[in-house]
Chain A
Amino acid sequence: MRVRFRFSKVGKVRFTSHRDVARMWERAIRRTGLPVTYSAGFAPRPQMSFGLALPTGCSSLAEYVDVELGERDASGQDTIEQDPAGLPEALTAVLPVGVRVEQAGPVAAGTGSLQEAVTCCRWALAIEGGDVADLARRVALLLESEVLRVVRERKGREVLDDLRPSVRRLWVEPDPVSWGRGPVVVLDAELATQPRGVRPTELVRALEHVGAPGNVNRRPSRRVDGSAVAGGGPEGTLVLSHACRIEQWIEQDGDRRAPLEPEGAPSGRCSARRALERAGCT
């Protein structure tokens, strides 16, 4: 059977990479003794499938992984049934500090992979380099733009992409929060992940260049905290101090839902500000 887990990744552990997280999960699953199925071949690996990679340095309240449990008999039928209820606690106990399993639930056989299914993510972005009014102005300009060109490198070649269709929603929290070296402005952003997603750093670069027609955002930094990138746009340098993924959504036929249905009564929407607090960044 396939079990889907939602987990958070906050605090110092957010500086590990997507691959590191996969290896943490492998070891954690072996330690719990869960009957995970292994791939065939010379180097059998536990069968797990992670969703969209979280950039190194970003935190998240909504990461997902699918794990295949049990053994299949010749007809492809699961030979065991696992009650996922106790799994979050058991796994959290053996995962590193900062990785917390929030929820587990069975996934119907034949469900598409997380990677393909998820179409949109919501982010809380902590920005330095401008005040709330400045960011609000830039956001308004960005949303009015018809195209947001960005130069990306693909297969060793530079290509021009348009970010604009991927920026679904974007707004500024009315009050700055205190983070690290000082106050940051909090952006709440819904960014599409398909066909090509927008990285939080790319969005911030776009905000630097917004309103400068024809100006192209070149070579965005791949990391959070873009302060190492020289220059900045004509609108001045913005620094993405932190990015926290708050939600992931699967959109289908105008409907949108989380990869795991929330347990119990639907909880209130988590504000970007609150998300940053939970990520241990305030």
Chain B
Amino acid sequence: MSNATKSILLAGVGGQGILRASDILSQVMIEAGYDVKKSEVHGMAQRGGCVTSHVRYGKKVYSPIAKKEDVDILLSFEKLETLRYLNFMKPDGTIIINNTEIYPPSVNLGESKYPRNVVEEVTRHFNDVRVINASDIANQAGNMRTVNTAMLGALSVKLNIGIKIWEDVLHIAFPENVFKENLDAFNLGRNA
């Protein structure tokens, strides 16, 4: 186990299941033997605003939030939100983008434009960029609310954690009636 603290930043829009995903990720890291801290802000921000969650793990973690240029992996649930947090990324960091667009109010009102070239902009600055269609995967898994587990599947490929740990944590995290759908979404995300 490396001594250095690693940081994963989950970002997206309220309602996408980001906090649930970061809870699951944190539990996986605990099961893998790491010290873990995670941080997010609730309250007013949850009403359709940006949502982020920092997950940090290592031998001994102090700060629950990462500083700028210190995040190893950005798991972005919405295309535009990816851009908002690029300055948190290490230059050689990994970025996983869900190919979904959710328009902010100013775009809906026609006052600003939703940027058309998000992925191009990201790949201009970073080498390790993956785009997945988590909504399609969730659809395929039979439950639109499994976008977050599909994203975790894609993330799991970048982490050296035994698949058994992921499965066990997912099993505890979800009630039996939706566990299968979530596990399917996770595996589809893994192979996406």
A pairs with B: no
